[in-house]
Amino acid sequence: MTGFLSLVLLFAAAASVHAQGSQWEMLNKEAVSLYQKGQYDRAAVVAKKALDVAEKTVGPNHPDVATTLNNLALLYDTQGQYAQAEPLYNRALAIYEKAFGPDHPNVATTLNNLAELYRAQGRYAQAEPLYKRSLTIDEKAYGPNHPVVATDLNNLAELYRTQGQYAQAEPLYKRSLGIREKALGPDHPDVAQSLNNLALLYQDRGQYTQAEPLYKRALAIKEKALGPNHPDVATSLQNMAKLFRKTGREKEAEALEKRVAAIRAIKR
């Protein structure tokens, strides 16, 4: 997803019946790797190949097909191509629910991603029950302190923050951050994402002195983990620039905005 927010969506885990090293599995892994590097266009091309292989190999209603549908939808979603993403998520969800039952983690993954799509479109009433169902499934499947649960908490918090429901959002962000720091370590990109979104909440409330150190820590983590020219780095820079403009620090904001433009001009 583009814009002001830094969000985490979830790639569905591969549930392949193919042997290790199958063409589908290799294509799926390549698509995930390209996504993680921010190379979304290339990843979408690979994901389409994986979908074609899966449909031809195991049929249109196999979990492998659902996995690839989810991942291709995520790539469209990340680029704001919501009309292309939504039917793919819905088809993946139907396949997973039929194959695994309504309480499987892959069902939760697709629910979460579909909820993110609705949130990005302002369809908040449709998003909230999907987030909550995803969180319930994952807490039951993984326990309350798992990184996947942290992602669910973060994304539900984003829904509340977007609607100005800050009192509901803040404890969810803090719980998500705590889980990630303990489970993943203090320098993981997911920790940076939690820091960034908590900073956004403080910025929305005008608590600029609380927001700034969180943005700076998030930026440092992302630069170290992802490299200086990753799209997520640009998102953090953009958020800091907005904060600087709100506090009258125009020159600092302009310098960051130039760097954002340079990163986004890089062909991926």
15 domain-assigned:
yes
Percent of the chain whose predicted confidence (pLDDT) is above 90: 76
In the chain, alpha helices (H): 23-36, 40-58, 63-78, 82-100, 105-120, 124-142, 147-162, 166-184, 189-204, 208-226, 231-246, 250-265
| Residue 49 domain boundaries | 1-123
Question: 268: pLDDT confidence band, cut at 50, 70 and 90?
Answer: low
CATH number, domain with residue 84:
1.25.40.10
Specify whether the CB–CB gap between 205 and 168 falls below 8 A: no
Residue 18 pLDDT > 90: no
pLDDT (0 to 100) of residue 251: 96
217 domain-assigned:
no
Question: 266: pLDDT confidence band, cut at 50, 70 and 90?
Answer: confident
Mean pLDDT computed over 85-106: 96
Mean pLDDT computed over 249-262: 96
159 domain-assigned:
no
Residue 133 pLDDT > 90: yes
202 domain-assigned:
no
Residue 103 pLDDT > 90: yes
Mean pLDDT computed over 93-99: 96
pLDDT (0 to 100) of residue 20: 41
Return mean pLDDT, the chain. Answer: 90
Give the integer Cα–Cα distance in Å for 251 and 168: 35
Mean pLDDT computed over 160-187: 97
Mean pLDDT computed over 112-131: 95
155 domain-assigned:
no
More confident residue, 116 or 8: 116
More confident residue, 31 or 157: 157
Residue 38 pLDDT > 90: no
pLDDT (0 to 100) of residue 12: 59
pLDDT (0 to 100) of residue 78: 87
249 domain-assigned:
no
pLDDT (0 to 100) of residue 125: 97
84 domain-assigned:
yes
Mean pLDDT computed over 19-40: 81
pTM beyond 0.85, yes or no? no
pLDDT (0 to 100) of residue 7: 34
Specify whether the CB–CB gap between 196 and 215 falls below 8 A: yes
101, exposed or middle or buried, with CB in 10 Å at 0-12, 13-18, 19+?
A: exposed
pLDDT (0 to 100) of residue 37: 83
Number of domains in the chain: 1
Give the integer Cα–Cα distance in Å for 161 and 225: 27
pLDDT (0 to 100) of residue 123: 97
